[in-house]
Amino acid sequence: MGQHGQPGSVGRHEIPPRSGVAFTLDRGRRLTVIDPQGEQVADLVAFRRDDIDEVISSGRTLDYAGRLFLTAGDPLYSNRSTILLRIVEDTVGRHDFLLTPCSADTFRILYDDPHPHRGCFGNLAEALAAFGIGPDRIPVAFNVFMNVAVDGTTGVLRVDPPLSRAGDRVTFAAETDLIIGLTACSAPQSNNFAFKPIHYVIE
């Protein structure tokens, strides 16, 4: 299943726990991110293939949507206000576009971990390097299946277990030729303290 094939090829692929991949996604193709076991987050970033300075933007997407929680029908915009991806199917309806990919610094600063994992940020950096994308270009990710609660009065953020169950999925349609980075998230708090794979399908 996929992890031994070409990550950008049509078909189903697996991302092992606490790892990541990068691949091309052609305009018109659909990318479905699947949680095969439940309660596992996937960090997704997207770059315009012919100009990697154009990248998915949390700020612009949330600004134009006018709300924090995105689902089927919602577009994901770039830093230049171009639609890169559109959510066309969503069986969960709760994702996060607020928090940056977890990293060694995340585990060191937030969790006082003296021997931190490199996290989604490190996994994305390694995978995207093959496309000439350096670490400083990695934006806030669309965190598929992540469940962040926001206190409407104080603004306090709380990371709760994902609502996704085994087989839940989100499908994105590419509006232009893209480079995609995708992970099986490495942060214990985001995944209800268990690490599981993520599957994805390109069609």
pLDDT at 3 over 50: no
- Residue whose pair of structure tokens reads 């940056």 in the numeric block: 100
pLDDT at 44 over 50: yes
pTM of the model: 0.94
Element (H, E) at 64: helix 58-65
pLDDT score of 19: 97
Residue 154, amino acid: T
- Residue whose pair of structure tokens reads 């559109």 in the numeric block: 86
| Higher-scoring residue by pLDDT: 10, 85 | 85
CA 137/CA 194 separation, integer angstroms: 29
pLDDT score of 112: 83
Closest CA to 35 of 172, 149, 196: 196
- Residue whose pair of structure tokens reads 């699947």 in the numeric block: 34
- Residue whose pair of structure tokens reads 């971990």 in the numeric block: 113
DSSP 62: H
CA 143/CA 69 separation, integer angstroms: 11
pLDDT per residue as tens digits for the range 46-99: 999 999 999 999 999 999 999 999 999 999 999 999 999 999 999 999 999 999
Torsional class of 105: left (φ above 0), alpha (ψ -120 to 50), beta (otherwise): alpha
DSSP 19: -
pLDDT per residue as tens digits for the range 158-198: 999 999 999 999 999 999 999 999 999 999 989 999 999 99
pLDDT at 6 over 70: no
Q: What's the mean per-residue pLDDT of the chain?
A: 94
Lookup: tokens for 70? 């995105």
Lookup: tokens for 195? 């690490």
Mean pLDDT value of segment 104-131: 91
CA atoms within 13 A on the CB side of 78: 21
CA atoms within 13 A on the CB side of 186: 22
Lookup: tokens for 160? 């709760």
pLDDT band at 107 (very low <50, low <70, confident <90, very high): confident
